[in-house]
Structure 1
Amino acid sequence: MTNRFDISKAPLRPEPRHPAAAAPIQSVPATPGGLIRSTLLAAGAAGAILVLFWLPAEYGIDPTGVGGLTGLTEMGEIKQQLAAEAEADVQAAAAAPVAAVENTPATAAPAPEILERLDRIDAQLAAISAVIGTPPSLTEPAAAATVVAEPAPEAAAAPAPDPVEAAVAEAAAPEPATPEWRDEVSYTLNPGEGIEVKLSMEEGQTARFFWTANGSVVNFDLHGDGSGESISYEQGRAVPEASGDLTAAFTGNHGWFWRNRTEAPVTVTLRTGGDYAEIKAP
Structure 2
Amino acid sequence: MQHTLSNKALFKSTVIALMIAGVVLISFILPAEYNIDPTGIGTQLGLTALANPEGTAIINTEQSEKLSTDAQHKTDSIDVIVPAGRGVEYKFAMAQFKKMEYQWHTDGAPLFFDLHGEPEGDTTGYYESYAIATLTEMKGSFTTPFAGIHGWYWKNTSNKPVTVQLTVGGEYSIVGLKK
Under TM normalisation by the shorter chain, which class is it? 0.5 to 0.7
CA distance in structure 2 between the aligned counterparts of 1:221 and 1:265, rounded to whole angstroms: 18
CA distance in structure 2 between the aligned counterparts of 1:246 and 1:205, rounded to whole angstroms: 8
CA distance in structure 2 between the aligned counterparts of 1:250 and 1:260, rounded to whole angstroms: 29
Which segment is superposed worse, 257-266 or 226-235? 226-235
Query: Once the 2 structures are TM-superposed, how far is the Cα of residue 235 of structure 1 from its aligned partner?
Result: 0.5
Question: Which residue of 2 is the match for residue 200 of structure 1?
Answer: 93
Does 2:122 correspond to 1:209? no
TM-score, reference length from structure 1: 0.34
Question: Which residue of 2 is the match for residue 272 of structure 1?
Answer: 168
The correspondence of residues 39-50 of structure 1 with structure 2, limited to 5 A, is none
CA distance in structure 2 between the aligned counterparts of 1:194 and 1:186, rounded to whole angstroms: 15
Query: Once the 2 structures are TM-superposed, how far is the Cα of residue 240 of structure 1 from its aligned partner?
Result: 0.4
Does 2:127 correspond to 1:230? yes
The one of the two structures with greater contact order (alpha-carbon pairs below 8 A, sep at least 6) is 2
Query: Once the 2 structures are TM-superposed, how far is the Cα of residue 230 of structure 1 from its aligned partner?
Result: 2.4
User: Unpaired segments of 5 or more residues in structure 1?
Assistant: 1-179
Does 2:146 correspond to 1:250? yes
Question: Which residue of 2 is the match for residue 137 of structure 1?
Answer: none
CA distance in structure 2 between the aligned counterparts of 1:196 and 1:230, rounded to whole angstroms: 13
Letter in 2 for 1:281: G
CA distance in structure 1 between the aligned counterparts of 2:82 and 2:164, rounded to whole angstroms: 8
Letter in 2 for 1:270: L
**Max Rg structure:** 1
User: Unpaired segments of 5 or more residues in structure 2?
Assistant: 1-72
SS at match of 2:127: strand
Question: Which residue of 1 is the match for residue 136 of structure 2?
Answer: 240
Query: Once the 2 structures are TM-superposed, how far is the Cα of residue 189 of structure 1 from its aligned partner?
Result: 2.0
The correspondence of residues 1-282 of structure 1 with structure 2, limited to 5 A, is 182-227=75-120, 228=122, 230-237=127-134, 239-276=135-172, 278-282=173-177
Q: When you count strand as a share of all residues, which structure comes out higher?
A: 2
Q: When you count helix as a share of all residues, which structure comes out higher?
A: 1
Q: Is the alpha carbon distance of 1:193 and 1:251 closer, same or farther for their aligned partners in structure 2, counting shifts above 3 Å?
A: same
CA contact (8 A) 1:206 1:247 kept: yes
CA contact (8 A) 2:79 2:165 kept: yes
CA contact (8 A) 1:181 1:271 kept: no
CA distance in structure 1 between the aligned counterparts of 2:171 and 2:82, rounded to whole angstroms: 28
Query: Once the 2 structures are TM-superposed, how far is the Cα of residue 279 of structure 1 from its aligned partner?
Result: 1.3
Query: Once the 2 structures are TM-superposed, how far is the Cα of residue 256 of structure 1 from its aligned partner?
Result: 0.4
CA contact (8 A) 1:218 1:258 kept: yes
SS at match of 1:281: strand
Q: Is the alpha carbon distance of 1:270 and 1:181 closer, same or farther for their aligned partners in structure 2, counting shifts above 3 Å?
A: farther
CA contact (8 A) 2:75 2:168 kept: yes
Query: Once the 2 structures are TM-superposed, how far is the Cα of residue 247 of structure 1 from its aligned partner?
Result: 0.8
Query: Once the 2 structures are TM-superposed, how far is the Cα of residue 201 of structure 1 from its aligned partner?
Result: 0.8
Task: State the identity %.
Answer: 34
